[in-house]
Chain A
């Protein structure tokens, strides 16, 4: 079990060594977002703007205009809400090389309560032209994602978790920003499209259902934008029913992205697992996932439901 924010901190440090044009900007959370390691090693390439997220995005934009590859980092709730307009109007519109590395996404900053939960961030970033959206499923994919988005000039939103989560990949893993791949293929009864911390949950649900005779495929949708429509359509055709799973509102995130593609190209039954349009409470991550219907069990139930209804 390791966290994707740790992966980010370590990989940023590694990239800093080989890319002297890489800068990091933080808004008083560097010990939490893990940019502190980069700051200690490369103080001349680190800017801390204090508690000022709008200034964070503007400063990052200016550095990028000056030819730098910039990682702008803070908690996801603060990275995407308050400075949304700065991200849209300056960073994304001008297609600047700013990577918004947002940690503590979803419910992973659980005990702090709704102010620190970030269940709308994918929707907020996905709607902006030019903006890439990447949600790594584990520590190794997060490392690969940092590499992949650094190699492509332009704005990206990298959604990272606070908590340690199960490992799916290994250190040889490379992220293809253009193509999504299944992480588990036991059959075509149902396609489960998941992202982030919900990928291991989906894999566990599908493994358990296999012993009950239901055989499904899990697609790891780590790159939500630009979205690999072809792979989704191909797998949806093969399976005929889809469940999406994300630690995000059911409005505007991965589930919406999947529905947007399928309703235009190959309509099949889709059931979305996600936060059902509500605000959230403090609690342990486990309590929250259970209370808001984001567990392995919720995914299993949804799979059973769509498989019955597709017949």
Chain B
């Protein structure tokens, strides 16, 4: 777990630097999803057979940083985030980076894709699981709830959905724009094994992912309570940093804070 804390901090630093260099991007929702993605890629997933879908494609910098750490893309590519022809497109794009399961960035589509893929994996007897991360604002999309009804119908216990519940969307607080509560009860009512978790506590995430894996006959959703902009004081719970890049001074300050926590 100590390793994960260090990896997450280094990933956060890389993400901040990437977005600063690109001059645009989504630091808030990237930092809120970092611990979940680090846990998935370094503890949870069997990458030989499991599949990952970043339905909230705007957290792409976290994904790219993890891929580079795992040696799947060259580190130098991270510096080309959001530039012409780069494998690190603004949102994950199979045309430029074929190892991406499905292109994403247009919100609300990942869960349907995960369901279809889960049916295919089950049909092939591969034993593979599909992990899909959505944002909380994203689940205001109607298609999410269409897909939410499909997965229990087909008893897709190889689907594990994670809601990055950071409470903030582009225009402000989720609770003010289109409230989601009672969110755990909603997923339960739709026939899901709904598991609340602390999305920044690796022990809590481990317990949640184990509960998800052990549940048979129904899909699981982890409602991961997170903090938008986690790890950088002036980005935490700040609506401004949903889709705004930090400038040079803010970047220096942010990196100092994140590294400071490791000492």
Chain A interface residues (CB < 8 Å from chain B): 23, 25, 44-45, 47, 49-50, 52, 54-55, 57-68, 70, 85-86, 89-90, 93-94
**Complex contacts, B146 vs chain A, CB 8 Å:** 49-50, 52, 54-55
User: Which A-B residue pairs are the 9 nearest by beta carbons?
Assistant: A62-B116, A66-B120, A58-B112, A55-B146, A52-B146, A62-B117, A59-B116, A62-B113, A54-B143
**Are the CB atoms of B115 and A52 closer together than 8 Å?**
no
**Complex contacts, B113 vs chain A, CB 8 Å:** 58-59, 61-62, 65, 90
**Are the CB atoms of B102 and A90 closer together than 8 Å?**
yes
**Are the CB atoms of B112 and A54 closer together than 8 Å?**
yes
Shortest distance between the CB of A208 and any CB in chain B (Å): 50
**Complex contacts, B147 vs chain A, CB 8 Å:** 52, 55, 58-59
**Are the CB atoms of A47 and B124 closer together than 8 Å?**
no
A57 nearest in chain B by CB position: B112
User: What is the interface size of chain B, counting residues whose CB is below 8 A from a CB of the partner?
Assistant: 31
**Are the CB atoms of A93 and B116 closer together than 8 Å?**
no
What separation, in Å, do the CA atoms of A66 and B119 have in the docked complex? 8
A–B pairs, 11, beta carbons within 8 Å: A49-B150, A50-B146, A55-B146, A58-B109, A60-B116, A62-B102, A65-B117, A66-B116, A67-B124, A86-B109, A93-B93
A50-B149, A86-B143 as given contacts; A62 in contact with B103, CB under 8 Å:
no
**Complex contacts, A61 vs chain B, CB 8 Å:** 102, 112-113, 116
Shortest distance between the CB of A26 and any CB in chain B (Å): 12
**Complex contacts, B123 vs chain A, CB 8 Å:** 44-45, 66, 68
A67-B124, A93-B95, A93-B103 as given contacts; A55 in contact with B112, CB under 8 Å:
yes
**Are the CB atoms of A67 and B103 closer together than 8 Å?**
no
**Are the CB atoms of A64 and B109 closer together than 8 Å?**
no
What separation, in Å, do the CA atoms of A87 and B51 have in the docked complex? 21
Shortest distance between the CB of A309 and any CB in chain B (Å): 46
A65-B102, A66-B121 as given contacts; A55 in contact with B95, CB under 8 Å:
no
**Are the CB atoms of B111 and A58 closer together than 8 Å?**
yes
What separation, in Å, do the CA atoms of A55 and B150 have in the docked complex? 8
Report B141-166 CB contacts with A as 1/0, cut-off 8 Å: 01100110110001000000000000
B106 at the interface (CB under 8 A from A): yes
Report B100-135 CB contacts with A as 1/0, cut-off 8 Å: 011101101101111111111101100000000000
**Are the CB atoms of A63 and B116 closer together than 8 Å?**
yes
B94 at the interface (CB under 8 A from A): yes
**Complex contacts, B102 vs chain A, CB 8 Å:** 61-62, 65, 90, 94
What separation, in Å, do the CA atoms of A43 and B263 have in the docked complex? 58
**Are the CB atoms of A94 and B103 closer together than 8 Å?**
yes
Shortest distance between the CB of A99 and any CB in chain B (Å): 14
Indicate which residue in B94, B142, B154 contacts A54 across the interface (CB closer than 8 Å): B142
**Are the CB atoms of B143 and A66 closer together than 8 Å?**
no
B101 nearest in chain A by CB position: A65
Shortest distance between the CB of A88 and any CB in chain B (Å): 9
A61-B112, A62-B115, A90-B109 as given contacts; A52 in contact with B120, CB under 8 Å:
no
**Are the CB atoms of A63 and B117 closer together than 8 Å?**
yes
B128 nearest in chain A by CB position: A66
B95 nearest in chain A by CB position: A93
**Complex contacts, A86 vs chain B, CB 8 Å:** 109, 112, 143
**Are the CB atoms of B117 and A66 closer together than 8 Å?**
yes
**Complex contacts, A85 vs chain B, CB 8 Å:** 106
What separation, in Å, do the CA atoms of A283 and B121 have in the docked complex? 46
Shortest distance between the CB of A260 and any CB in chain B (Å): 25
What separation, in Å, do the CA atoms of A221 and B40 have in the docked complex? 50
Shortest distance between the CB of B158 and any CB in chain A (Å): 11
A52-B146, A94-B103 as given contacts; A65 in contact with B124, CB under 8 Å:
no
What separation, in Å, do the CA atoms of A64 and B114 have in the docked complex? 11
B108 nearest in chain A by CB position: A54
Kindly name the residue among A23, A50, A61 whose own CB sees the greatest number of chain B CB atoms within 10 A.
A61
What separation, in Å, do the CA atoms of A235 and B34 have in the docked complex? 60
Report B182-204 CB contacts with A as 1/0, cut-off 8 Å: 00000000000000000000000
Indicate which residue in B51, B95, B120, B143 contacts A68 across the interface (CB closer than 8 Å): B120
Given A62-B118, A68-B123, 11 more A-B residue pairs with CB atoms under 8 Å apart are A47-B150, A52-B146, A54-B112, A54-B143, A58-B109, A58-B113, A58-B115, A59-B112, A61-B112, A61-B116, A70-B116
